[in-house]
């Protein structure tokens, strides 16, 4: 330390410049690596499944679709599988993964705790409950008019559920501007259990077809993906991805505490309100499209913090890419382990995520911090 103080200012400043340049380079490398991994997994995903297609063949089909190559390829059965079944599923998985991972990063920033996650603190359960209520009760209400419930209603129902549970959680856990993490986790568990029991009640009164749909919500699956579904979810999730960089500075400042962020000139209330709204929207749309998928929001941001640090300017975009890669990867596993059937993707992410979460808990030296 004394040595450092004795350095001439110019030498220290130069060392500092090297340090920051190194940090920036690390960020660029991390983005490039993650994008590459994500693209590779996407290519594999289009070929993998009960009906296997070689990656080269997949590339040919994609090129043909874009107008490079023979157009006859597009009429093949393989092209049909790739373009009409696997492509929407892939894109939906990537969008949902990005939305969940960003939601996790936002909540962790908002609550200033690495353990906050929409799945863990009941936000997903709330969205799931609202989606279940829309399926079961919406059908009942509309059956009198001989109408079928349009899929587009679901994201809004789920969004509403996510918003209500996020707000409830925040109000319960925050007193005089301070958020108690212990209260947050406990309240989240209670809210999740409440939502779970109400969802169970809905299952009890639902018919066979609705019951099958409900099981799908609770386990999470990309199986129902279609271009129609994607066209409803994408307009909700994509704008979120672009809104998120606006929050990075504010979330960084919030790491010091709410009062300190205010002293730094950050519009704290606006940042908090916007984060809660974004989480509710993202989780709502994800749950509506793919059911409740846990642990993406906790695993991805944490891994990124470990590798490049907690600066939200990098953390948020990298979480989006990482979340997309994780869910696309998990979907490949879900389709391959029990060929020709497939596992609900929620089972795969929980199987990976739960042990990771336990490891995270064990690694934190001081239990008291919880």
Partner 1 sequence: MAAILEADDLSFSVRGSTLVRRASLALEEGATTIVVGPNGAGKSTLLKLLTGELSPLQGAVRMDGAALPQIPAWELACRRAVMVQNQRLAFPFSVYEVARLGLEGVGRAQSRARKGEIIAQALETAGVIGLAGRQYQTLSGGEQQRVQFARALCQLEAGRSVAQRQILFLDEPIASLDLCHQLSLLDAARSIAAQGAAVLVVLHDLNLAVTYADRLVVMHEGAIVAQGEPSAILDDNLLRGVFRVSLSFSRLPPAGQPFLLPQQHLTPIQPGGVVPLRAASA
Site residues, partner 1 (CB under 8 A): 1, 3-5, 7, 9, 12-13, 15-17, 19-20, 23, 112-114, 249-250, 252-257, 259-267, 305, 309-311
CA gap 238, 147 in Å, rounded = 30
Tell me the closest approach of the beta carbon of residue 97 to partner 1, in angstroms.
Answer: 22
Tell me the closest approach of the beta carbon of residue 13 to partner 1, in angstroms.
Answer: 4
- Nearer Cβ to partner 1, position 118 or 250? 250
- Nearer Cβ to partner 1, position 252 or 286? 252
Taking the mean position of all CA atoms in its chain, how far away is CA 257?
25
Tell me the closest approach of the beta carbon of residue 362 to partner 1, in angstroms.
Answer: 18
Q: What share of the chain is helix, strand, coil (3-state, %, to 5)?
A: 80, 0, 20
- Nearer Cβ to partner 1, position 90 or 298? 298
- Nearer Cβ to partner 1, position 99 or 116? 116
- Nearer Cβ to partner 1, position 136 or 261? 261
* Nearest of 294, 308, 259 to residue 112 by alpha carbon: 259
Tell me the closest approach of the beta carbon of residue 35 to partner 1, in angstroms.
Answer: 24
Q: Supply the DSSP symbol for 49.
A: S
Residue 74 and residue 65 in contact, taking contact as beta carbons nearer than 8 Å: yes
Concatenated DSSP letters for 167-185? HHHHHHHEETTEE-HHHHH
Residue 174 bridge partners (DSSP): 179
Tell me the closest approach of the beta carbon of residue 349 to partner 1, in angstroms.
Answer: 23
Tell me the closest approach of the beta carbon of residue 178 to partner 1, in angstroms.
Answer: 10
- Nearer Cβ to partner 1, position 7 or 228? 7
- Nearer Cβ to partner 1, position 20 or 70? 20
Tell me the closest approach of the beta carbon of residue 3 to partner 1, in angstroms.
Answer: 7
- Nearer Cβ to partner 1, position 175 or 209? 175
* Nearest of 355, 347, 328 to residue 49 by alpha carbon: 328
Q: Supply the DSSP symbol for 52.
A: -
Strands 174-175 and 178-179: antiparallel
Q: Which residues contact 142 (CB under 8 A, 6 or more apart)?
A: 148, 149
* Nearest of 114, 102, 55 to residue 324 by alpha carbon: 102
Cis status, amide bond into 340, omega within 30 of 0: yes
Structure token digits, residue 338? 């029990």
* Nearest of 102, 100, 47, 236 to residue 159 by alpha carbon: 236
Tell me the closest approach of the beta carbon of residue 72 to partner 1, in angstroms.
Answer: 53
Structure token digits, residue 292? 């409740």
CA gap 22, 210 in Å, rounded = 55
Burial of 268 (0-12, 13-18, 19+ CB in 10 A): buried
CA gap 125, 118 in Å, rounded = 9
Tell me the closest approach of the beta carbon of residue 257 to partner 1, in angstroms.
Answer: 6
How many Cα atoms sit within 13 Å of 77 on the Cβ side? 3
- Nearer Cβ to partner 1, position 109 or 220? 109
Task: Name the 3-class secondary structure at 175.
Answer: strand
- Nearer Cβ to partner 1, position 207 or 260? 260
Tell me the closest approach of the beta carbon of residue 271 to partner 1, in angstroms.
Answer: 11
């Amino acid at each position: 330390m004394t040595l450092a103080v004795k350095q001439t200012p110019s030498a220290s400043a130069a060392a500092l410049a090297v340090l920051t340049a190194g940090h920036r380079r690390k960020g660029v490398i991390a983005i490039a690596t993650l994008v590459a991994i994500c693209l590779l997994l996407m290519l594999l995903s289009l070929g993998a499944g009960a009906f296997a297609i070689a990656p080269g063949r997949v590339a040919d089909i994609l090129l043909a679709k874009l107008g490079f190559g023979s157009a006859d390829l597009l009429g093949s059965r393989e092209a049909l599988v790739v373009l009409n079944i696997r492509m929407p599923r892939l894109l939906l998985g990537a969008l949902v993964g990005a939305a969940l991972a960003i939601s996790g990063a936002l909540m962790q920033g908002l609550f200033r705790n690495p353990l906050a996650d929409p799945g863990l603190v009941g936000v997903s359960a709330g969205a799931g409950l609202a989606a279940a209520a829309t399926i079961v009760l919406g059908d009942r209400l509309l059956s009198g008019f001989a109408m079928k419930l349009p899929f587009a209603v679901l994201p809004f129902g789920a969004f509403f559920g996510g918003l209500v549970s996020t707000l409830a959680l925040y109000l319960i856990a925050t007193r005089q501007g301070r958020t108690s993490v212990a209260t947050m986790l406990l309240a989240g568990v209670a809210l999740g259990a409440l939502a779970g029991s109400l969802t169970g009640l809905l299952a009890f009164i639902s018919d066979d077809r609705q019951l099958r749909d409900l099981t799908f919500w609770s386990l999470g699956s990309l199986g129902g993906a279609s271009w129609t579904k994607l066209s409803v979810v994408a307009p909700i999730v994509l704008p979120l991805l672009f809104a998120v960089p606006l929050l990075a500075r504010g979330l960084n400042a919030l790491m010091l505490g709410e009062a300190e962020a205010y002293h730094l000139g950050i519009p704290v209330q606006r940042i908090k309100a916007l984060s809660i709204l974004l989480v509710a929207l993202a989780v709502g749309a994800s749950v509506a499209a793919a059911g409740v998928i846990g642990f993406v929001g906790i695993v991805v941001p944490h891994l990124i913090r470990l590798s490049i640090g907690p600066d939200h300017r990098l953390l948020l975009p990298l979480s989006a890419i990482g979340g997309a890669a994780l869910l696309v990867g998990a979907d490949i596993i879900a389709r391959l382990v029990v060929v020709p059937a497939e596992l609900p993707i929620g089972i795969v992410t929980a199987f990976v995520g739960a042990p990771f979460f336990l490891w995270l808990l064990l690694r934190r030296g001081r239990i008291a911090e919880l």
